[in-house]
Structure 1
Amino acid sequence: MSESLADIIAGLPKSDTWGPTTTSETMLNGVPYQPFSKSDKLGRMADWTNDGKDGRDGRGGRMQYNRNYRDQQVYGASSASLFAAPAAEDEASFSVVSNVRDSIKTRFGGRGGVFTRGRGQRGGARGDSRGGGRTQQLRSGGRQGGGQPGYNSYDRGGRSNTGARGRRFGWKDYDKPARNRDASINVKAEWELVEEIDFNRLGKLNLEADSGEDVDTYGFLYYYDRSYDKQPVKSAEKKLNPVDRAVYNVTASSDPVIQDLADKGEATIFATDSVLSMLMCATRSVYSWDIVIVRQGNKIFLDKRDNAALDMVTVNENAADAPMEGTEGNKDGINQPPALAEEATYINHNFANQVVLESGQKVEMANPNPFYNASEETEPPASKAYKYRKFDLSTNDEAPVYLVVRTEVDAVQKNSTTGENQFLTVRALNEFDSKAQGSGGALDWRSKLLSQRGAVVATEMKNNSCKLARWTVQSILAKTDMMKMGFVSRANAKANDRHVVLGVIGWKPVDFAKQMNLSLSNGWGIVRTIADMCLARGDGKFILVKDPNKNVLRLYEVPSGSLDEDTDDADDDEEPAAQEEQE
């Protein structure tokens, strides 16, 4: 009476059978359709266990997607791997997968023989037969200790032969959190945004200008002490002593000489070398800064605020791992950006006054110092000459545009060959701690400045590109013959109040600009573009602000009295603080 299983199955309707329905839309002669090349051999119909070379299921294969080969893929060419039968598996092929890097060091290349390159380099190093590699950095213009001119070489395994230790700068930079820096000035809601220019547009500007001509000279100069050019003995390092001298940093609109030249109609644009160099080197800047632009009739004055950010000398602004603020976790107070800027400014002021011979002769300019008043000052004037120079920024003869800039010269020296006077600008680079965060992979100056001077200079060009570019532009604007660069280090890395002079190196400003790939024509193009934007508007005040976290310049039109209110508020904040200190 009971039916067999075969009879039950035979009695079922065909529509209730297990499995997908058979259609002709996705089938080709009874075989599931899959695109493939005619040269491919068919294996299994489907293979879901095929592993890629990166170990991830189903995402590998000989022609897996790769951004470097995305334009070379052939449609259907990778389907052969889906039909290929995998090799037989056995227990001998079983292995434990671990994501922990092997800590065993190989003979060449450090851990696992890995050779890492810095960001931005093309290709890899050509490996030798032993698994190593050799590469070289960009030309830096100096000589290394090994005698190779202008290169930073690396030994096998990617380790720098310059002696720097610590982390590899540039490694996993993409994984670092973005820093949020504060702006140099608070932008108010009533300010009108005139223009926003990114650095890519600024870098394409170009304007050829002449070498300039002297309009008038003021002040005097002492002779430079050539003993600082000799490498000091370690046991007799020269200390940096505080030298109190009267130094002035008057903005363009407050300069009596510039006001007199403006009344005579000598030029359209008026500026000081400090403000003008910042604008010409804007594309190299990282920190925020601002420039106040005043238009009076057809005249443009490039000014600065009191205690402006561009008056301070930055330290390692362009380093890959720049010094961190206290809010970012830097507990070392003397190595934070504001403290380092104050230290560098203090060093530059004293170094320029220390390296001149005040007891000897001095060179008088055509006019006395326009800012010094002997009846009011308690300190003697510093060795400083002010040269007011005129440049032609015209693009056509119909609408001439001239610029007058006040430049500064720090010292003078006799030419050893001709005996003529050579004008000098004196600046100082400072070392705080080669092992601290923010050092930018700098070498130890005490041990490497003499033997690897080129490597030291190349590192400073990389870490302080904006600062060195500004100093070079100021020297070229003043048309000085030589730029003296001092190397000053802390007597103790943990204290920022005592310093020693390790050496002085001199360069011709034009040659130094070529080594830094500095384009003056691009700087003149930036100046003329910003001036034309202000001339297209009416009389009033403008402020040019560099964004603290982006490579962008923003030009605002400021209502009358807005900037004065900011100055008054700052003064009100300082008075209670001063009263608290006195109490």
Structure 2
Amino acid sequence: MASFSLPKIHDNPDGGWGPSSSNVPEQLKFKDIPYAPYSKSDKLGRFADWNDLTSDGRQTNTGPLAATNTRGGAGRGRRDGAQAFGSGTASAFSYFHIEDESSFSVVDNKAAPPRRGGGFARGRGSARGNSSFASRGTSRGGSRGGYNTAPRSGGQRGGRRGMRDWEKNNRTRESSVAISPSWQMLEEIEFHRLAKLRLDVDEPEDLGNYGRIFPYDKSYDRITTKTEKPLQSFDRLKYNTTTSDDPVIQQLAAKNTAKVYTTDVILSVLMTAPRSVYPWDIVIIREGDNLFLDKRDGGMFDHVTVNENAADPPQDPTPSNPNNPQDKQTAPDTPSINSATDLSLEATYISQNFGFQSVVESSAPPPVDFAHPNPFHGPGETEPLASCGYRYRVFDLGITEDEDIKLCVRTEVDAYVPGPGNPQDGHGLITIRALNEFDSRAQGAGGAPDWRSKLDSQRGAVVATEMKNNSCKLAKWTVQSVLAGAELMKLGYISRVNPRDNSRHVILSTASLRPTDFAAQLNVSFANGWGIVRTVTDLCMKMPEGKYVLVKDPNKSVIRLYAVPMTAFTTEDDEGEAFEGDEPESAA
């Protein structure tokens, strides 16, 4: 029969943990305790050194009493080159891999090519890793088995970055309009939700054409960098009236021609909203069943942005703190001509004057007068009008035949190309825009190549860079051209005479683009743009009558709809007050 007997217990009645040494027999005192030979000259450090490599290439683990040098690394051994005492003998604390790795081989056994560039040494570096800038591309301290600190971005990863790059992503922009605490936020829509909207819209219906347009001067198509032409300044009168103040739209609204009224400038911003980076705002007025999309005077709609979509766009200088005397001393005396605000004003000046200069204001070929005169030009105006034609068109945004949601938009064309077609019927109409180069080496240039050396030989590289840095601006111009029914868009390349002087410019080249084809190159989806317009329209139609403002967040990819008082953004002539409940916005 099986039996069980208790083992002998070495009790310690005097207290303490474990058996007393007096109760343990002498022959059992050191039984089953492994012995690791060591030298008294070695320092006792780690319990286990996983970086220690023996002479046969296997990784070993040393125990508490093993003689491991605390500064040792991958197979270094003793500092004097001699083998550490006891490291060559088998130890009870040594680790041996069971699997046989002798048959293992690397597929690509070629030596890695040496890294080039970077400005700092990329070899072994400092012997002790005490230099903060030395050998950033290698392990710290050479081959001591330390951690790898290979750079995440450098010459081999898209170019070196500049000093204080950590500040560039933390810079914040101011909103285009001061958000009053009394405003009520009604809706917030992220850009990724807007990018999923789709709506197919048929061809528009023309309601009427107004104004006078001049023929385009074809000699500007033959300009090259070797035959550059100076940009001249012209005094011409061109109106950019908001929607509610348009007398033609007021007449159309009285006849209930449509439910939504706007201009092509405002509509293009809304249709390309997911591309925008700079802040903007649209004032929305609900009157009965009608919806008016307006702009504010002096807002971003009256200016042209520069390199808005660049990885490091132009920035405005940080305003100095008046309470800090040190900021007053370090503040520059003269502002930079390459700041975001100055570049925007410069680009607006260039685009307007290029449109005025590139048309022929003579009797041959003659100008074309549309069926109606310019609706904004009064009888007392003496300044000559610029070449501009206004086309009022209606788009049907209804999804089904029962829906009656029509949008009336005022579009603009800048000139016409003489040909067999009649411009009054919409043939040969063009829009004129201009891209500007300020300084390819300045902050905010976005890696743009020098136009004078690359525009003729590598135009594709220049266009690709502009499509990347000015994606939103080019998309808005293309949408405006398509909405107006223009057959061509003339795009001028204008640069400074001297990069340090923003007052003199030259025309280097002019490109002719078909808006529909250029929209495909820019990946502009009109179905997505109309889906955004329909979503905002439905959202505002659900609201009661009143005034609202759609604001793009200055630092986030989101738009917000606020309910504002009817007195917001209006001027009181009787009381001489400026904007009520609002402060003048800063230019984008």
- The TM-score with structure 2 as length reference comes to 0.71
Q: How does 1:64-103 map to 2 (within 5 A)?
A: 89-91=77-79, 96-98=128-130, 100=132
1:371 is the counterpart of 2:376: yes
Q: Give me the whole-angstrom Cα distance separating, in 1, the residues matched to 2:52 and 2:152.
A: 24
Q: Give me the whole-angstrom Cα distance separating, in 2, the residues matched to 1:117 and 1:324.
A: 23
> What one-letter code is carried by the residue in structure 2 that aligns with 1:350?
N
Q: CA RMSD in A?
A: 3.7
User: What are structure 1's unaligned runs of at least 5 residues?
Assistant: 1-9, 20-29, 32-45, 54-78, 107-113, 119-156, 161-166, 573-583
Q: How does 1:491-530 map to 2 (within 5 A)?
A: 491-530=497-536
Counterpart of 1:353 in structure 2 is 356
**Structure 2 residue corresponding to 1:311, chosen from 299, 302, 319:** 302
Report if the CA contact (8 A) 2:303-2:345 is conserved.
yes
**Structure 2 residue corresponding to 1:342, chosen from 334, 342, 345:** 345
Q: How does 1:314-333 map to 2 (within 5 A)?
A: 314-327=305-318, 332-333=335-336
Q: How does 1:201-350 map to 2 (within 5 A)?
A: 201-232=193-224, 234=226, 236-327=227-318, 332-350=335-353
Counterpart of 1:555 in structure 2 is 561
1:277-309 superposed Cα distances (whole Å, 9 cap, x missing partner): 011111111111111001111111100111112
Q: CA deviation at 1:534?
A: 1.1
Q: CA deviation at 1:271?
A: 0.4
Q: Give me the whole-angstrom Cα distance separating, in 2, the residues matched to 1:503 and 1:169.
A: 32
Counterpart of 1:138 in structure 2 is none
**Structure 2 residue corresponding to 1:198, chosen from 190, 213, 222:** 190
Report if the CA contact (8 A) 1:430-1:489 is conserved.
yes
Report if the CA contact (8 A) 1:170-1:320 is conserved.
no
SS at match of 1:358: coil
Q: CA deviation at 1:334?
A: 1.1
Q: Give me the whole-angstrom Cα distance separating, in 2, the residues matched to 1:249 and 1:267.
A: 21
Q: CA deviation at 1:484?
A: 0.5
Q: Give me the whole-angstrom Cα distance separating, in 1, the residues matched to 2:79 and 2:261.
A: 83
Counterpart of 2:175 in structure 1 is 183
Q: Give me the whole-angstrom Cα distance separating, in 1, the residues matched to 2:290 and 2:219.
A: 46
> What one-letter code is carried by the residue in structure 1 that aligns with 2:49?
T
- The count of aligned residue pairs is 462
Q: CA deviation at 1:170?
A: 10
SS at match of 1:381: coil
Q: CA deviation at 1:91?
A: 3.3
Q: 1:570 to 1:99 in 2, by over 3 A?
A: farther
Q: Give me the whole-angstrom Cα distance separating, in 2, the residues matched to 1:248 and 1:417.
A: 27
Q: 1:216 to 1:441 in 2, by over 3 A?
A: same
Q: CA deviation at 1:169?
A: 6.3
Counterpart of 1:15 in structure 2 is 16
Counterpart of 2:445 in structure 1 is 439
Counterpart of 1:140 in structure 2 is none
Q: Give me the whole-angstrom Cα distance separating, in 1, the residues matched to 2:246 and 2:350.
A: 26
Report sequence identity in percent: 47
Q: 1:326 to 1:88 in 2, by over 3 A?
A: closer
Q: CA deviation at 1:226?
A: 0.8
Q: CA deviation at 1:501?
A: 0.5
Greater fraction of residues in helix: 1
Q: Give me the whole-angstrom Cα distance separating, in 2, the residues matched to 1:285 and 1:435.
A: 24
Report if the CA contact (8 A) 2:262-2:410 is conserved.
yes
1:385-444 superposed Cα distances (whole Å, 9 cap, x missing partner): 111111111022222211110000001113599999511100000111111111111111
SS at match of 1:327: coil
Report if the CA contact (8 A) 1:274-1:311 is conserved.
no
Deviates more, 1:364-373 or 1:469-478: 364-373
Counterpart of 1:59 in structure 2 is none
Q: Give me the whole-angstrom Cα distance separating, in 2, the residues matched to 1:354 and 1:96.
A: 67
Q: CA deviation at 1:376?
A: 1.5
Q: Give me the whole-angstrom Cα distance separating, in 2, the residues matched to 1:569 and 1:202.
A: 38
> What one-letter code is carried by the residue in structure 1 that aligns with 2:296?
R
Report if the CA contact (8 A) 1:116-1:158 is conserved.
no
Report if the CA contact (8 A) 2:223-2:229 is conserved.
no
SS at match of 2:537: helix
Counterpart of 2:119 in structure 1 is none
Q: 1:205 to 1:95 in 2, by over 3 A?
A: same
Q: CA deviation at 1:210?
A: 1.3
> What one-letter code is carried by the residue in structure 2 that aligns with 1:274?
V
Q: Give me the whole-angstrom Cα distance separating, in 2, the residues matched to 1:12 and 1:273.
A: 98
1:47-92 superposed Cα distances (whole Å, 9 cap, x missing partner): 5432599xxxxxxxxxxxxxxxxxxxxxxxxx99899x98572338
SS at match of 1:441: coil
Q: Give me the whole-angstrom Cα distance separating, in 2, the residues matched to 1:571 and 1:401.
A: 33
SS at match of 1:260: helix
> What one-letter code is carried by the residue in structure 1 that aligns with 2:199?
L
Report if the CA contact (8 A) 2:305-2:344 is conserved.
yes
**Structure 2 residue corresponding to 1:428, chosen from 434, 445, 450:** 434
Q: How does 1:14-93 map to 2 (within 5 A)?
A: 15-16=16-17, 48-51=48-51, 89-91=77-79
1:480 is the counterpart of 2:486: yes
Q: How does 1:155-170 map to 2 (within 5 A)?
A: 168=160
Q: Give me the whole-angstrom Cα distance separating, in 1, the residues matched to 2:160 and 2:577.
A: 45
Q: CA deviation at 1:95?
A: 5.6
Counterpart of 2:388 in structure 1 is 384
1:468 is the counterpart of 2:505: no
> What one-letter code is carried by the residue in structure 2 that aligns with 1:179?
R
Q: CA deviation at 1:168?
A: 4.0
1:205-260 superposed Cα distances (whole Å, 9 cap, x missing partner): 111111312111111211111111113353x5211111111100011111111111
Q: 1:300 to 1:97 in 2, by over 3 A?
A: same
Q: Give me the whole-angstrom Cα distance separating, in 2, the residues matched to 1:526 and 1:226.
A: 38
> What one-letter code is carried by the residue in structure 2 that aligns with 1:366?
A
> What one-letter code is carried by the residue in structure 1 that aligns with 2:184?
E
Q: Give me the whole-angstrom Cα distance separating, in 2, the residues matched to 1:565 and 1:18.
A: 96
